[in-house]
C-alpha cells in the first residue's frame, strides 16, 4: 500500500462532552476517569475522548463500533452537525471547529456530502430535485444542476426515475437517491452514516459492491460509519475501531484480523480462526472474463472495459493459464501497432490451488492488488479471488462463530 499519501482530514485530540459544562468533564477525564465515573460525578456524558486519526486522500475509511461507541457523534463532529468540545479537525488547512458561521457553511458546501442511515430524502421533492439539493443550496444555475444531478442518478442506476417521489421507491432505491444527492454535490469528502444499515442483507451486499466500484472509479475520500464488522472488512481500506468514545485500533482489515490490538478487538473478530478451514475455493469467483492467448490487445482492452477491470487473465483454449495482461500493457501494444499479446504478459501474480487455506491469501494481497488466480493441477484457471471476497468470507465465518 502506498505509504506517503496526502492527508485529507487530520483529526487531533477530538473530544465531545454532552452537557452544559464540558470543561469540568474534560478535567476529570484528564485525571484518568472513565465515562461512567464522569457521568456519575458531573451528570455529563463523555461522548468522544482524545480521538486522533487521519483520513487519506481517496481512501475509504470505515469507522466501526457498536452502538454507544460514539461513531455517529464522531462523523457529525467532522462537519459540525455536532459541536466538538475540544480538539482540531483540519481539512485542507482549515480548522473546522474554529470556523465562523459563514465559513462553516462554505466549508460544508465545499467539502462534505452526507448520506444518512434513514436516507433523509425530502419527501416533497422528486428524485431529481433531491439529487439537485446540494447544488441548489450552493446557487448553481438550473441548467448545470439538472445536468449534474442527472449524471449522478445515472451513476447509481436510477435513470428514468427522475420524476418519481421518494415514497414511491424501495429502500434500496431511496438510498441510491441519497447517494446520488451526495455524488452530484461533488464535495471533496463523502460522509456515510450507517448508510446501508437500514437495507435488507441482499440489497446491502449489492450496494457495498457498487460503492466499491464507484470508489475505484472516482477515488473519492469517504468516511463510512458502520456497526457491522462484515461491512467494515468488506469495504474499508482502513478501519478505525471505536469503543466507549475512544479509539481501540486503527488499521487495514488484514491488520485488524491478524493483529488485534487488545482483547476487545479479539473478541470482536472471534471465530475468524475458522479461516483455517476456509479455502480459496470458498472465496473464489468464476472468472467473469478471460482473453485467449491468440486474441489481440484491442479485444483484451475491450473486455477489460466491459467488466471495468484493469487487468485480465490470459488462457489457452483448454483454459490453462498463461499469464496476466494489464490494461497499460495492452494500450502500449496498440500504440506500437502489435497484434499479439504474448510478449506483454506478466507472471507477476499469485496463483493457488482451490484448497489453499484462506489465511494464506492475506499476505499475497498486501504486495500487489491483482486478483489471485485459482488453478487446478493442470494449471487450468478455475476462478479468481479478490480481496473483498476473502474479507467477507472471514467476516461471515466470524459471525457464524459468535452464535
In the shown chain, the binding pattern of residues 66 to 95 toward another protein, with x for contact by CB under 8 A and - for none, equals -------------x-x--------------
- 20 belongs to the binding site for another protein (CB under 8 A): no
379 belongs to the binding site for another protein (CB under 8 A)? no
105 touches another protein (CB under 8 A): yes
- ∠ CA 271-276-279, nearest 5°, is 115
Q: Is 396 in the site for another protein (CB under 8 A)?
A: no
Looking at the Cβ atoms of 11 and 358, the one nearer to another protein is: 11
Number of residues interacting with another protein: please give it, by CB under 8 A: 24
The verdict on 198 binding another protein (CB under 8 A) reads no
Q: Does 99 bind another protein (CB under 8 A)?
A: no
The correct pick among 95, 118, 219, 402 for binding another protein (CB under 8 A) is 118
C-alpha of 384 from chain center: 21
Rule CB under 8 A: say whether 112 interacts with another protein.
Answer: yes
Min separation Cβ 116 and another protein, Å? 6
Binding mask 316-355 for another protein (x = CB under 8 A): ----------------------------------------
Is residue 113 near another protein by the rule CB under 8 A?
yes
CB closer to another protein out of 33 and 120:
120
Confirm or reject binding of residue 251 to another protein (CB under 8 A).
no
Stretch that binds another protein, among 49-57, 129-137, 230-238, 284-292 (CB under 8 A): 129-137
How far apart are the C-alpha atoms of 288 and 321, rounded to whole Å?
Answer: 15
Provide long-range contacts, Cβ within 8 A and 24+ apart, for 305-314: 308/213, 308/216, 308/217, 311/370, 311/371, 313/287, 313/373, 313/381, 313/384, 314/290, 314/341, 314/345
Cell of 120: 433523509
DSSP state of 197: T
Stretch that binds another protein, among 136-144, 283-291, 361-369, 390-398 (CB under 8 A): 136-144
**Min. distance of Cβ 128 from another protein in angstroms?**
14
Tell me the longest C-alpha to C-alpha distance in the chain: 77
The three three-digit cell numbers of residue 261, written as one number: 490490538
CA distance 23 to 394: 43
Q: Which three cell numbers stand for residue 95?
A: 480548522
Does an H or E element contain 242, and which? strand 238-243
- What's the min distance (Å) between Cβ of 79 and another protein? 6
Query: Mind giving me the DSSP string for 57-97?
Result: TT-EEEEE--TTSSHHHHHHHHTTSS--SEEEEEETTEEGG
Count CA within 13 A, CB hemisphere, residue 56: 17
Cβ–Cβ < 8 Å for 379, 323: no
Nearer to another protein, 81 or 334 (CB): 81
- Residues found near another protein in the complex (CB under 8 A): 79, 81, 105-109, 112-114, 116, 118, 120, 122-124, 133-134, 136-138, 165, 185, 191
Amino acid at each position: 500500500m502506498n505509504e506517503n499519501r496526502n492527508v485529507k482530514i487530520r483529526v487531533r485530540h477530538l473530544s465531545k462532552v454532552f452537557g452544559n459544562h464540558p470543561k469540568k468533564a474534560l478535567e476529570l477525564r484528564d485525571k484518568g476517569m472513565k465515562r461512567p465515573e464522569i457521568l456519575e460525578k458531573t451528570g455529563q456524558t463523555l461522548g468522544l475522548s482524545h480521538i486522533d486519526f487521519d483520513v487519506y486522500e481517496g481512501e475509504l475509511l470505515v469507522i466501526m463500533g457498536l452502538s454507544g461507541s460514539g461513531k455517529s457523534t464522531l462523523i457529525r463532529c467532522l462537519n459540525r452537525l455536532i459541536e466538538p468540545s475540544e480538539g482540531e479537525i483540519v481539512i485542507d488547512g482549515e480548522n473546522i471547529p474554529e470556523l465562523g458561521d459563514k465559513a462553516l457553511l462554505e466549508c460544508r458546501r465545499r467539502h462534505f456530502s452526507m448520506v444518512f442511515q434513514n436516507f433523509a430524502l425530502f419527501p416533497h421533492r422528486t428524485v431529481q430535485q433531491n439529487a439537485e439539493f446540494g447544488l441548489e443550496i450552493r446557487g448553481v444555475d438550473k441548467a448545470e444542476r439538472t445536468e449534474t444531478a442527472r449524471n449522478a442518478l445515472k451513476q447509481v442506476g436510477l435513470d428514468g426515475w427522475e420524476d418519481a417521489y421518494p415514497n414511491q421507491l424501495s429502500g434500496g432505491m431511496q438510498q441510491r437517491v441519497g447517494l446520488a444527492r451526495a455524488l452530484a454535490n461533488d464535495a471533496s469528502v463523502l460522509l456515510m452514516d450507517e448508510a446501508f444499515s437500514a437495507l435488507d442483507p441482499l440489497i446491502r451486499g449489492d450496494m457495498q459492491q457498487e460503492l466499491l466500484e464507484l470508489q475505484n472509479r472516482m477515488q473519492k475520500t469517504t468516511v463510512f460509519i458502520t456497526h457491522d464488522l462484515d461491512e467494515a472488512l468488506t469495504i474499508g481500506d482502513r478501519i478505525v475501531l471505536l469503543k466507549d468514545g475512544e479509539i481501540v485500533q486503527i488499521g487495514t482489515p488484514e491488520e485488524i484480523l491478524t493483529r488485534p490490538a487488545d482483547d476487545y478487538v479479539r473478541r470482536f473478530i472471534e471465530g475468524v480462526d475458522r479461516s483455517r478451514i476456509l479455502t480459496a475455493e470458498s472465496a473464489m469467483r468464476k472468472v467473469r472474463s478471460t482473453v485467449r492467448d491468440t486474441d489481440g490487445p484491442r479485444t483484451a482492452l475491450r473486455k477489460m472495459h466491459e467488466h471495468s477491470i484493469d487487468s485480465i487473465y490470459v488462457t489457452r483454449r483448454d483454459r490453462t493459464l498463461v499469464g496476466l495482461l494489464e490494461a497499460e500493457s495492452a494500450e502500449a501494444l496498440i500504440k506500437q501497432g502489435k497484434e499479439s499479446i504474448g510478449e506483454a504478459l506478466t507472471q507477476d501474480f499469485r496463483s493457488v490451488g482451490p484448497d489453499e487455506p484462506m489465511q494464506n491469501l492475506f499476505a499475497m494481497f498486501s504486495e500487489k492488488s491483482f486478483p489471485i488466480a485459482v488453478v487446478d493441477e493442470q494449471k487450468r484457471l478455475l476462478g479468481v479471488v479478490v480481496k473483498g471476497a476473502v474479507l467477507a468470507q472471514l467476516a461471515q465465518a466470524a459471525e457464524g462463530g459468535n452464535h
